[in-house]
Amino acid sequence: MLMIQRLALALILALLAACAHQTPPVAETAPQPRACPAGLGAEIRCLGGQDSAGAFYLIAMPGDWNGRLLLHAHGGPFLGAPTMKRVEEDLQRWSIMPRAGYAWAASSFRQGGVAVTAAAEDTERLRGIFVRHMAKPKLTILHGQSWGAGVAARGAELFTAGKPYDAVLLTNGLLAGGTRSYDFRLDLRVVYQYLCNNHPRPDEPQYPLWMGLPAGASLTTAELAQRTRDCLGLGRPAAERSAEQAHRLKTIVDVIRIPERSVQSHLNWATFHFQDIATKRTGGGNVFGNIGAVYRGSSDDQALNAGVLRYAADPAAVARFGADADPRGRIPVPVLTLHGINDPTVFVELESVWADTMASAGRADGLVQTFTADSDHSYLSDASYVAALDALQAWVEQGRKPMPAAVAEACRLAQARFPSSCRFQPDYRPAALESRVPARRRP
């Protein structure tokens, strides 16, 4: 009976989340002129402000505007209060968009933490500000980067009345949903604890690792970095690590299948973001389980699998978190994805889940996936993004659905205007997520 009640509660929460975007809009004040971040060029003017929900936003208008708007959903997510600085950094990173003629607009989102639907609402609110106070674009592309790709995907399927978005661009996207994309970070926590036993230390209060940290815990990122330095030798040259430290680090790299350079960042996310999820998104329930997961790649897999901590996910918590953080694929407009094959932060194999999600929603024909031989996460290349935008524009305005080879050729053409790399791999297809992250029992 208790399980039925919990599932019923999760269903109610899912319905509330799906209907939240129907709240009547609030009249928003006009954006005000402000200095652009350094490096954008004198021909681009910037405006910004804070919306009625408390999110900061920036708009960049090129002098030779092509009449098209690109709405950007940033990655992260970042914890803590929103700031204008976060948006300014995004505009500097994605300056290729206004330099290529697109109006660019981005929100800081009104809150920090892993709140996907709220971020999608903030992005849609910004679109309304642009249309009311700037101009009505002839084409609107919704762009999501990293975690923001999940935000964009949710927004594109939630906000369909009046067709606010004409196309969606998802780059290096976390697209398997919150309930599946973070499984490997629980794996990292349990393997790290098996090897190091210092997060938490034996003399500290013990807690389930899926929680990240207990509510109110005072551990800082610097203190966590010191623990990984002690156990793995992270932050030290390889020659200065002990044999034990080198062995532990190699075990993590080989079992979790992440590069050494990203171990600390993933452990940070598996600590502080997991804390946000457990304390603010699920009512204290566990979303992440590893029952049935078989870990391979260590010097003694039998001992590792027998020794790691095991947790079972709570079905009600999974349903509650999934209602907010899992895209359904019901996007009625063209979607193009761009992903670096060797992305160390968001595994390229997540794209296989996204293809299945859109196919299950009956939208397989509305998806084109492209891949590049890049090993960076935060940014690929100017020409690559221009090619993706040109392909989407032609798909919407001329009905020409692009093939990956055509996007690769468009990148080569874009290099004449924006000299940068083109590393498209038109024939690449990602493997199943389970080929990289161990399969496990799911609620």
Locate 309 and state its tokens.
């901590």
**Residues 52-85 as b or e (16 or more Cβ within 10 Å = b):** ebebbbbbbbbeebeebbbbbbbbbbbeeebebe
C-alpha to C-alpha distance for 443 and 431, rounded to whole angstroms? 24
Q: Cβ(13)–Cβ(322) under 8 Å? A: no
**Structure confidence at residue 1 (pLDDT):** 42
Q: Cβ(299)–Cβ(251) under 8 Å? A: yes
**Structure confidence at residue 386 (pLDDT):** 98
DSSP H stretches of helix in 58-176 = 84-93, 96-99, 116-133, 147-158
Is 14's pLDDT higher than 50?
A: no
Is 392's pLDDT higher than 90?
A: yes
C-alpha to C-alpha distance for 104 and 97, rounded to whole angstroms? 7
C-alpha to C-alpha distance for 141 and 137, rounded to whole angstroms? 10
pTM here is: 0.93
pLDDT digits (tens, 9 = 90+) for 400-435: 999 999 999 999 999 999 999 999 999 999 999 999
pLDDT digits (tens, 9 = 90+) for 334-345: 999 999 999 999
Is 20's pLDDT higher than 60?
A: no
pLDDT digits (tens, 9 = 90+) for 66-79: 999 999 999 999 89
Is 7's pLDDT higher than 60?
A: no
Is 19's pLDDT higher than 50?
A: no
Cα–Cα separations (whole angstroms), residue 197 to 21, 191, 222: 44, 10, 18
Locate 56 and state its tokens.
């900061």
Is 193's pLDDT higher than 60?
A: yes
For domain 9-177+327-435, give the CATH number.
Answer: 3.40.50.1820
**Structure confidence at residue 39 (pLDDT):** 86
DSSP H stretches of helix in 326-417 = 350-360, 382-398, 404-414
C-alpha to C-alpha distance for 115 and 136, rounded to whole angstroms? 29
Closest Cα partner for 311 from 270, 352, 273?
Answer: 270
Percent of the chain with pLDDT over 70: 94
Closest Cα partner for 121 from 50, 2, 21?
Answer: 21
Domain positions in the chain are 9-177+327-435, 180-318
Cα–Cα separations (whole angstroms), residue 208 to 248, 264, 272, 435: 22, 20, 14, 27
Predicted confidence band of residue 25 (pLDDT cuts 50, 70, 90):
low
pLDDT digits (tens, 9 = 90+) for 293-308: 999 999 999 999 999 9
pLDDT digits (tens, 9 = 90+) for 86-142: 999 999 999 999 999 999 999 999 999 999 999 999 999 999 999 999 999 999 999
Is 396's pLDDT higher than 50?
A: yes
What mean pLDDT comes out for the span 194-222? 97
Of 311 and 15, the structure prediction assigns the larger pLDDT to 311
